[in-house]
Chain A
Amino acid sequence: MSFFSNFFAKKNTAPVAKDRLQILLAHERSSRTGNSDLLQKLQKEIMEVIQKHISIDQEKIHVKVDRGNDFSTLEIDIEVPQQNQSNT
């Protein structure tokens, strides 16, 4: 299909429609409904709890969200500063 539409000067429009839809819907599906909201909420609240007890440099936090079809994972990597470090 794409070979032929490239081959001829006159481009067909249906493949363009399909590509645009697939890109758009992939984006809309991932930002839709509970799943993504839940992960964002979790991330926010977990961060708040940690901030309550230790002050953390924002640079030292790595958040990774992996969205899969069956399950998603939320990884939060935090470098906790050593509390008992003395400057002697």
Chain B
Amino acid sequence: MAKVIVVTSGKGGVGKTTSTAAIGAALAQTGQNVVVIDFDVGLRNLDLVMGAERRVVFDFVNVIQGEAALSQALIKDKRVETLYILAASQTRDKDALTEEGVGKVIAELKEKFDWIICDSPAGIERGAKMAMHFADEAIIITNPEVSSVRDSDRIIGILDSTTDKAQRGEKIPKHLLITRYAASRASRGDMLNTDDILEILSIPLIGIIPESEDVLKASNLGSPITLSAPNSPAARAYSEAVKRLQGEKIEVTVPTDKKGFFDWLIGRNKS
């Protein structure tokens, strides 16, 4: 039974595309058939983050408009056997994403894949609405920062009211993924901490990705971080989030970049 997951946030720049790539790759590494889809028509970037930017011939809109078959537009990842990407169009506008057209493509993908991960554009316009419309579950990406939390709250409201599942009277399961988290700043009281965000948004937590240089390095290389630096704290946090997505019960730990008192003591004595 294929699962459609939307990765969304409302606010731009919080890590939707990075997270889509990392989660998609980690899921595919478990042997599941995964496709990641870019819904950001006109500003596509998932291809670039995945390192497939030079291999895009046909895109999502070509398939919707019948100019290419789905099999022609799906780009097979060179690193993971079971991972595919469907790129967004860079030249059309968002009106090309019709509900009927997107629905048809999703239905066809459901026959081939176990997981369909939809990378939403920022905002609440057509692209974002279409990315979430056919979702079975949602991952909401939130930074510990006021505008991101506010936009996430708005997106949660939209998920619960306008999506296909909501219109059929069903609840979309929602998972909170906190990104760019700096544990030391949160413990100093100068950054919203995990409990603050959970209390405000009241949806279950699926993972906490620490603020990390490795994330930028991975996008520089065009590789999902779960493939290029699987042992980095951020990649481990993504892998654990994926396990939770697959139904495993693992306690969410706050990745800490803070040295303990004893480390500090030893560090001081050394110098």
Contacts and interface: CB of A to CB of B under 8 A. Distances in A.
A34 B161 contact: yes
B4 interface: no
Size bracket of the A interface = 10 to 19
A13 to B, nearest CB: 5
Contacts of A25: 150, 153, 200
Given A24-B150, A25-B153, A28-B153, A14 B161 contact: no
B186 interface: yes
B203 to A, nearest CB: 13
B210 to A, nearest CB: 17
A14 to B, nearest CB: 5
A32 B155 CA distance: 12
B157 A22 contact: no
A13 B186 CA distance: 10
A14 B157 CA distance: 24
DSSP majority for the B interface?
helix
A32 B196 contact: no
Interface string A10-46: 0011110110111011001100111000000000000
A20 B192 contact: no
Contacts of A5: 189
A1 interface: yes
Interface in B111-158: 146, 149-150, 153-154, 157
Contacts of A29: 153, 157
B190 interface: yes
Given A21-B146, A21-B200, A15 B161 contact: no
Contact of A33 (B153, B157, B192, B199): B157
Contact of A12 (B146, B153, B161, B189): B189
B96 to A, nearest CB: 28
Given A21-B200, A33-B157, A14 B150 contact: no
B190 A28 contact: no
Contacts of B153: 25, 28-29
Given A25-B200, A28-B154, A33-B157, A14 B186 contact: yes
A13 B189 contact: yes
A14 B145 CA distance: 9
29 contacts: A12-B188, A12-B189, A12-B190, A13-B189, A13-B190, A14-B186, A14-B189, A14-B190, A14-B191, A14-B193, A14-B196, A15-B189, A17-B146, A17-B192, A18-B192, A18-B196, A18-B199, A21-B146, A21-B149, A21-B200, A22-B200, A24-B150, A25-B150, A28-B153, A29-B153, A29-B157, A32-B157, A33-B157, A34-B161
Given A14-B192, A15-B189, 9 more contacts: A13-B189, A13-B190, A14-B186, A14-B196, A18-B199, A21-B146, A21-B150, A28-B150, A29-B153
Interface of B: 146, 149-150, 153-154, 157, 161, 186, 188-193, 196, 199-200
Closest 9 CB pairs of A and B: A12-B189, A18-B196, A14-B189, A25-B153, A17-B146, A33-B161, A13-B190, A14-B192, A32-B157
